Amino acid sequence: MPQSRLPPHNEEAEQSILGALLIDKDAIIAVAEFLRPEHFYKDAHGKIYQAMISLYEEREPIDLITLVGKLKKQGDYKMSGGNEYLTELVDRVPTSTNVEYYARIVEEHS
């Protein structure tokens, strides 16, 4: 029986990007020009990132409160994992220093 193969992706890099964007208001500047929601392998991550980009374009802060509101407005709150998962993303990332590096990994694997 042939094994199904997953396309190349790096879920840890995806989570690190999203967590970094939540802990550092300026981190999005480093990735917004080249990273797109469709670069994310996990659909929920793409939806979360799209909500963050929308907040950035609307000149709104990107934090848990505004992100939850945007995800609810877009109808993507439940599929994104809700507050528990978003909080987990923040807890996984101690610093946003490597956000651009992680974004390049995700872009390359897309």
Judge contact between 41 and 9, C-beta under 8 A.
Answer: yes
In a domain? residue 57: yes
Predicted TM-score of the model (pTM): 0.91
In a domain? residue 43: yes
**pLDDT tens, 10-23?**
999 999 999 999 99
Identify the domain containing residue 45 by its residue range.
11-109
Q: Counting runs of H as helices and runs of E as strands, what totals does the chain give?
A: 6, 0
CATH number at residue 56: 1.10.860.10
Give the confidence band of 105 by pLDDT, cuts at 50, 70, 90.
very high
**pLDDT tens, 26-36?**
999 999 999 99
Which tokens belong to 84? 């528990």
In a domain? residue 4: no
Domain count, the chain: 1
Residue 76 has pLDDT above 70, yes or no: yes
